[in-house]
Amino acid sequence: MATIIGGIGVSHTPTIGFAYDTHKQNDPAWAPIFEGFEPIRAWLKEKRPDALVYIFNDHVTSFFFDHYSAFALGIDQEYAVADEGGGRRELPPAPGHPELARHVGVSLMTDEFDMSFFQDKPLDHGFFSPMSVLLERDGAHWPTRIVPLQVGVLQFPIPTAARCYKLGQALRRAIESYPEDLRVAVVATGGLSHQVHGERAGFNNVSWDKQFLDAITHDPAALAAMTHAEYAELGGLEGAEVIMWLIMRGALSASVRKVHSTYYLPSMTGIATLLLENEAADVPAASHERHRQRMQRQLQGAERLTGTYPFDHAASLKAYRLNRFLHRMIVPEHRARFLADEEAAFAEAGLSEEERQLVRQRDWRGMIHYGVIFFMLEKLGAAVGVSNLHIYAAMRGEPLEEFLKTRNAKVMYSVAGGAAAKGAVWDSAKPDGAATEQAGIASPS
């Protein structure tokens, strides 16, 4: 079983990354930052965790307000450094742990946390600023793997402190029920006191910061009871992001041992480090097995449904590149390039030969088996003039005429819009059911 060996709380101000990149380790104004991180860096080097569950918030870099989630879990193979406007930092991508991430995701959803999940997103200073100082690298290789958890704390309403603490408790169940023997540390970033906007910009509260460090260690329930306004009053509005530390603390046992803590206020943000080790009692293995069985309950029996393939994280990760290629059929320029020269479009997208062959042959059933979700087939069909009904029939291995006999109404349709929909006449003689255009004739919908 996986074991949580400890929890780490660190600030993630870009000050840390700037000082690291500009080699300020021996500068008197900057040295205390590195001195505060050094004991945690040494602890990580000694303990050698197999994975870090890393809690942070993005600063409207990779997560914009067109879709802003409360809790977003990364399930990717690796995470690159984001460009925040002035170029990327020269750091290698952090390797992900998709197997642990998928387990954590299912477990949290089982515990009724409505998670979102992400791939193909670079991470900004909320992740990489402390990351670059915490871990020693061997060239381009990080010493451990990452499961990133992004918390939406910038656009209100945001999760409550109590909800963050409860999420941490559910995260503990998720990690400890993972069936492989992994050593996991939980890292929370953010804060401490600061405000970077409005006439209150530059606000700090050293006494509150020190009180918070004591309370997160010894009385996290008191912090979980506080409101966002109380956090903002005591630590600045942006400083209220320290509620993310409650996720880390909730993932630990009630009894912890404080190994290390420091605090330094060089400029705009109180920079803190905290290292806690678990003093948890052993839990019977049977309880973890019951939780895993509970995680499987919702899809239990689906494997008996012939020709049914739930689209899960494993399929999403495997077929992400092909799903993304097909999804981009909604972009007129991409669609036009594909229709003009399929092979050039395949090469531009970096599709594998297997993926290219599936699209070349319009192998609708093969794409489903590969991990493509149906709604991408629908988009490809609309782009190339193939009706939904032809796709359904192909997946069943039936001629269109036989499939239509199973329908109450013999209608033909697709998701194509505009002139393509209005002028389509579906040609059942063509093996892929491509449409030809004829003015004034539309397929029923």
- Decide: helix, strand or coil at residue 13: coil
Distances in Å between the Cα of 167 and the Cα atoms of 70, 150, 205, 266, 269 are 11, 13, 27, 32, 26
15-54 burial code (b ≥16 CB/10 A, e <16): bbbebbeeebeeeeebeebbebbeebeebbeeeebbbbbb
- Residues assigned a catalytic role: 125, 194
C-alpha separations of 37 from 32, 135, 149, 279 in Å: 9, 10, 21, 23
Pairing of strands 3-10, 145-151: unpaired
Nearest to residue 353, comparing CAs of 339, 368, 343?
A: 343
* 82 three-class SS: coil
Which residues, 6+ apart, have CB-to-CB distance to 174 below 8 Å?
103, 104, 107, 108, 111
Residue 167 CB-half CA count within 13 A:
29
Cβ atoms of 329 and 338 within 8 Å: the answer is yes
Listed in sequence order, the residues at least 6 apart from 152 whose beta carbon sits closer than 8 Å to its beta carbon are 57, 63, 68, 69, 70, 71, 72, 158, 159
DSSP class per residue in 353-385: HHHHHHHHTT-HHHHHHHT--HHHHHHHHHHHT
